[in-house]
Amino acid sequence: MMQRVVIGLSGGVDSSVAAYLLKQQGYDVIGLFMKNWHDDSVTISNECPWLEDSNDAMLVAEKLGIPFQVVDLSEQYKDRIVNYMFREYQMGRTPNPDVLCNREIKFDVFMKIALELGADFVATGHYCRKDSMQKEGEIMYKLLSGIDQNKDQSYFLCQLSQKQLAKSLFPIGELNKSEVRKIASELDLVTADKKDSQGLCFIGKVKLPEFLQQKLEPKEGVIVKIPNDSQLYDRTIPDFENRDEEMEFFSKKYDYSLSDGNIVAKHQGAHYFTKGQRKGLAVGGTVEPLFVIDTDVIENVIYTGEGKSHKGLYRKTLFVINDEIHWVRPDLELKEGEEMKVQARIRYRQNLESATLYKSEFGLYVDFENEQSAITEGQFVAWYIGDELLGSGVIS
């Protein structure tokens, strides 16, 4: 009997070609479009309107001769993703809705709907691969980066579990983007030349301040510029008694106060800004642009530094609390006091960097070989060995 696959058709070229490849491989394919958002007032609608996308997805399904329907997940999306975003920004953290959307919506809510439709698997147009191995009589699934290193999207799936991976397929993970476009062109699919969508998972490009202002009130505060030669950065490195002390020292953020710099401008809410941000500060008169080096949402202050090599932007160690550590490969989980050499990244598109994981009683330290720019609370750090993503965590 044919195995059934439900694919999330997003109205983009990647999922269109993924659906075609599944059909070629002999699966019984059903296309579902996820409608996750109703409010067009905060989206830059000509960039990525869901209506146009669902229409393109329907045309692709028609062309490929597969059944198609739209599922409205906007309630669950609001509950699990949008509210989470508001909470995080309110606390002065910067969330990653795309990672959450995969864990909570595509590979949970959507997957349940697919399984109710009798699906054996759920497929998406992600540039990543899946493999499996036997370990102590059990099947272990591996999440591997996509062949196209420029498009590798394994990072966005860094929170998936073994249970979710068992039911997932990633048909285009072995292809380069140019090959995907070529297949779409040869099939004359409406999505062949369509630009890749940017912005929030299945919402489109969002005007972030307007989006956040739905819940987070504007509140005037000051922008402070911290000089690069501030004494704050001349920390004396003590002699450490153990690895825990060392890791705790290097993972500590700099603690700024108003007296550490000069007030250079005003802003409309520290909770709208994130570390490493340059746009939106609207401060002139500096040789190099200003970057956000920290925000204080309690006092409503934004701390900035001039130039992208400002010392306030850099740290080499970060911490993930126990509750926020996730192992895609639970069999490799570290015990207290154990270490592991890995490659890691703290944002999508970043090159993998050499690092050491160290497990303490209260969480996991990721100690990079080189200093990292704008380590941001609320974002995800993901760690790999070779091309396999082993786990991830929320930076605290």
Could you list the active site residues? 101, 201
Tokens of 73: 């997940």
**Per DSSP, which regions of the chain are E strands?**
4-8, 28-35, 68-72, 121-123, 128-135, 138-145, 168-169, 221-225, 262-267, 290-296, 301-306, 314-321, 325-327, 339-345, 353-359, 363-373, 380-385, 388-394
Pair 383, 355: CB distance under 8 Å = yes
CA dihedral in degrees (146, 151, 157, 158; nearest 10)?
Answer: 80
Tokens of 281: 């500060």
CA distance 287 to 299: 28
Tokens of 121: 């698997």
Q: Which residues of 120-156 are buried (b: 16+ CB within 10 A; e: fewer)?
A: bbbbbbbbbbbeeeeeeeeebbbbbbbbbeebbbbbb
Q: DSSP states of 151-190 as a string?
A: T--GGGGTT--HHHHHTEE-TTTTS-HHHHHHHHHHTT-T
Instruction: Provide the residue type at 246 as one letter.
Output: E
Look at the block and give the residue holding tokens 């490493």. 276
User: Half-sphere exposure of 24 toward its Cβ, with a 13 Å CA cutoff?
Assistant: 10
- Backbone dihedral angles phi then psi of residue 80, each to the nearest 5 degrees: -95, -25
DSSP state of 73: -
CA distance 19 to 15: 6
DSSP state of 269: -
Single out the residue of 189, 211, 200 nearest to residue 48, CA to CA: 200
